[in-house]
Amino acid sequence: MRTAVIGGAGFIGSHLAEYLLDAGDAVTVLDDLSRGRLENLGACLAHETFTFHEGSTLDTAAVGRAIRGVDRVFHLATAGGAHAYTDRPLAGLRSTVHGTETVLDACLDAGSELIVVSSGDIHGRHVSGRLSGDAECILGSPLTPRWAGVAAEATEEAFAQAYGREYGLAVSVVRLFDTAGPRQGGRSGGVVPTLVKQALRGDPLTVHGDGRQTRCFSYVGDVVPAIVRIAEQPAARGLATDLGSTQEVSIIELAERTIRLLGSRSMISFIPYDDVYGPGHEDVRRRSPDIALASRLIRFRPTASIDTIILKVAKDILSTASNGIHAEAVHHAEAVH
Ligand SMILES: NC(=O)c1ccc[n+]([C@@H]2O[C@H](COP(=O)([O-])OP(=O)(O)OC[C@H]3O[C@@H](n4cnc5c(N)ncnc54)[C@H](O)[C@@H]3O)[C@@H](O)[C@H]2O)c1
């Protein structure tokens, strides 16, 4: 099978590219390296059936070149993360909406199947119950950058479904919730690696707001095979399938577990949202997927616990960084492994 991964130099995309190569696919990655890194593709670059194209989803010719002759496309190159829409709102909105439309058109031209990787963020302010793919979305004002970004992600999904209905494109949407693991990093790079690095350095662990907001963290090694199995499941077409963990933790609990597991002497420091994202930022209090559809379609069952994820992320950080990492924390974390 010939497969393209758009956004494949990023955190999840690079794991997906590796997984597909191991499964025997010929893999092409298109990435503008705005947040991704070539180092993430270290294991792929030497592979003879791997091709890398540097380019943007906003460049129709580049997308067409990357997708030509490809059987299926995984699209992970949306703006992603609240910072993407607060720092450079236009670039973020264009990337998510126009970039996705370019990918949809190219898939139609090439006759490729498409899997759009979206986000559980689009459920917005929901706090009650678990959230299924067709649950209602409760969004704040699109005049704020944060909610405008979420509206753009909802529009991306709407475009995907409309191409399916009107043009017959074989398209599935997968919604990821908080996913963590090796290689996650950068400004919007996730709370787990941020807290783990701080704990390993002996720095204060920075918790946004009151820390009582809850999330369900899943391990990238659980999520990537599930994305591929959804792609191979015709019954998933035209649906949005949530993939995530059902183990819900507050961010303060995540910080406490990280300190305990890594034997760190760090304290916890609370940072107001306004200091992180600018005035008026609104975080969601709870984000929890409903994996009933994924269980039915592919028997999805995430296996990694939050403690396992923290330790795997710590191990990855220890293997790539030494400067500023507290020697005692290194010994403790290594002993735990
Ligand atoms: N990591 C999570 O916890 C999480 C949670 C929910 C949803 N998701 C979704 O999963 C997908 C991948 O997330 P990730 O954590 O790997 O993010 P990431 O930022 O590590 O990867 C995204 C990749 O896309 C590339 N990219 C961005 N805009 C581009 C453009 N216009 N043209 C070409 N390349 C572009 C970036 O350089 C990067 O390599 C995203 O769609 C994101 O919204 C991730």
pLDDT of residue 131: 65
Atom number, ligand 1, closest to the C-alpha of residue 58: 31
* 79 Cα: distance to centroid of ligand 1 (angstroms): 6
Task: Find the 55 Cα to ligand 1 centroid distance in Å.
Answer: 14
- Give the distance (Å) from ligand 1 centre to CA of residue 178: 12
User: Can you give the pLDDT at residue 104?
Assistant: 98
What is the SS3 string spanning the chain?
A: CEEEEECCCCHHHHHHHHHHHHCCCEEEEEECCCCCCHHHHHHHHCCCCEEEEECCCCCHHHHHHHHCCCCEEEECCCCCCHHHHHHCHHHHHHHHHHHHHHHHHHHHHHCCEEEEEEEHHHHECCCCCCECCCCCCECCCCCCHHHHHHHHHHHHHHHHHHHHHHHCCCEEEEEECCEECCCCCCCCCCHHHHHHHHHHHCCCEEEECCCCCEEECEEHHHHHHHHHHHHCCHHHCCCEEEECCCCEEEHHHHHHHHHHHCCCCCCEEEECHHHHHCCCCCCCCECCECCHHHHHHHCCCCCCCHHHHHHHHHHHHHHHCCCCCCHHHHHHHHHHC
Q: What pTM was computed for the model?
A: 0.94
Choosing from 30, 32, 75, 87 the residue with most ligand 1 atoms within 8 A of its CB, the one to mutate for a pocket test is 32
What's the pLDDT tens digit per position in 32-62? Answer: 999 999 999 999 999 999 999 999 999 999 9
Residue 199 has what pLDDT? Answer: 97
Q: What is the pLDDT of residue 278?
A: 80
Choice from 18, 28, 31 to test ligand 1 binding pocket (greatest atom count within 8 A of CB): 31
pLDDT of residue 214: 95
If you take atom 32 of ligand 1, which residue's CA is the nearest one?
Answer: 56
Nearest-atom number in ligand 1 for the CA of 178 is 3
94 CA to centre of ligand 1 in angstroms: 14
Q: Which residue CA neighbors atom 34 of ligand 1 most closely?
A: 31
Residues touching ligand 1 (Cβ under 6 Å) are: 7, 9-13, 31-36, 56-58, 76-78, 80, 95, 99, 117, 119, 176, 178-179, 190
Domains in the chain, CATH or no CATH each: 2-179+219-243 (3.40.50.720), 181-215+247-287+304-336 (3.90.25.10)
What residue ranges of the chain have pLDDT lower than 70?
A: 127-133, 186-189, 321-337
Q: Which pLDDT belongs to residue 79?
A: 76
